[in-house]
A and B are shown apart, each in its own frame.
Chain A
Amino acid sequence: MTERSIRTIDSQVMTGRAGRLRLTSKNPYVPRSAIIREITRETDSVSTFVMSFIDELENNSFSYQPGQFMMVSVAHQGEAPISISSSSLQSDFFSLTIRNSGRLTKAMHSLKPGNVIGLRGPYGTAFPLEEMQGRNLLIVGGGIGMAPLRSVVHTCCRQPDHFGKVSVLYGSQNPGELCFQSEMQSWKEAGVDCRLIVDAADNGWQHQVGLVTDLLTDEFRPQKKKDLALVCGPGIMIRFVIQRLEELGYSPENIFTTLERHMKCGFGLCGHCHCREKLVCVDGPVFRRSQLGVLEDL
């Protein structure tokens, strides 16, 4: 086989970071085609897209960890970073939960099952699954920030014996913006303690009203020194939740958060995702609180 033909195959089929199988002479900018298998409408503006790669080889070699993200290409719209929202234990498919909030995501929401998008990745750091083994987990999400945390929740649901007590505190502006409501019953059945809160309730709302920090009562003080807290949501919410978690007794080593930034490459070159001296795409998006310093510019 000539070098040219290898490169051709490489560029068409095997480019990108194919999970564990890292193939040589690859072009990290070339997306691989993936097909939308199923779309679940979560809220008026959020849907979960269940995806798989068109190429079977690609599917077999693809692996990721909760917290990592993909660079998503939609025809003519460029690329955007999107967190993976499914459990890494699930093999054939993976999910992306996307809010319709910009040009690319709007185009994404116009797609139907059977449509094709381009994907590169997975990129970035992950929630520390190994460190999480056997520990109690407090998962705090706000709005669309629940998407990467869902990946952790699904992992916990599939392997309940591997973790201690798992609690999910999830808040949004109003009940219509809470994602994953249809599957929360199954989370509870798997032993996850789920608490919901909204800023502004409607008539049918049976849970608390307020900010997600209001759920962080003394009940959620760490039971053991090694209990972990995982946080994702808007920057301002992350900041106040982390402050509250520290008041409750979580050490900065045991709080994890995942940040959102504008990104173009996903692997540390384009410079867009800086957060002080860190690049969110390679040093994050999942950070230990102790890595972050002041939280004003999240």
Chain B
Amino acid sequence: MVNQVLFPALVLGGIALVLGAILAVASVIFKVDTDERIGQIEEALPGANCGGCGFAGCSAYAAAIVAGEAPLTKCAVGGEKAQAAIADIMGMAAEKVEPKRAFVQCGGDCDAAALKFDYNGISDCAAAMRVAGGPKGCEFGCLGYGTCVSVCKFDAISIKNGIAVVDPDKCVGCGTCVNICPRHVIKLRTTDKKSDIKCKSTDKGALVRKYCKSGCLACGICAKNCPQGAITVDGVAKFDHEKCVGCGTCVEKCPAKCIELA
């Protein structure tokens, strides 16, 4: 009786022990050496997997850094802190990158911009673009169907009164919205409180006035008044941020009120 229970139990236990030993040996023999720096870098990265660096995610970027295929500066989300940590792990010097934020180059909200027609289709900018170039009278401005909102991993963009508005506190500058916007109306810019224009329209001033109250008329008043000579007008006002000191003269003088310090 005892034999009938004890013996099989012992043999089974023995087999299990042997199997365990085989697995233990196998785990040593078949050990795959992975570079431990990959794991360390992954921890230093924010783990948002936003894809702003151009890789499939934080771990793919970490592997690329270790393989020497990617620069340390690609992660906009982690900013300087993550970069310093990665540079430390890799034994390299950190390069300085200025933090960037998304900036919507359009002020044509529902009050300012005229519509060509009523659009009742899919609530997506790319889809709206397909219908005669979108319902907005302006061919350059934000369509306001929130494709950027849906791709933002950081909940930093919202549609307010018909145009995209970026929350500068939440935006990390990953650039996902810049790439998805079918109108290319969002850009990344530094957060140095210098003048920038919320309009991309290069149409003639008279035409702009017809479809948008806050569009750049290319009148040149800002350029004439700028004490630093930082503004040139070529269909639309352009700002040289090397020269601009953020005095705010152009913001005051602009008749369309489409310049702001961002």
- Do these two chains really belong together in a complex? no
- Tell me the A residues contacting B by CB distance below 8 Å: none
- Tell me the B residues contacting A by CB distance below 8 Å: none
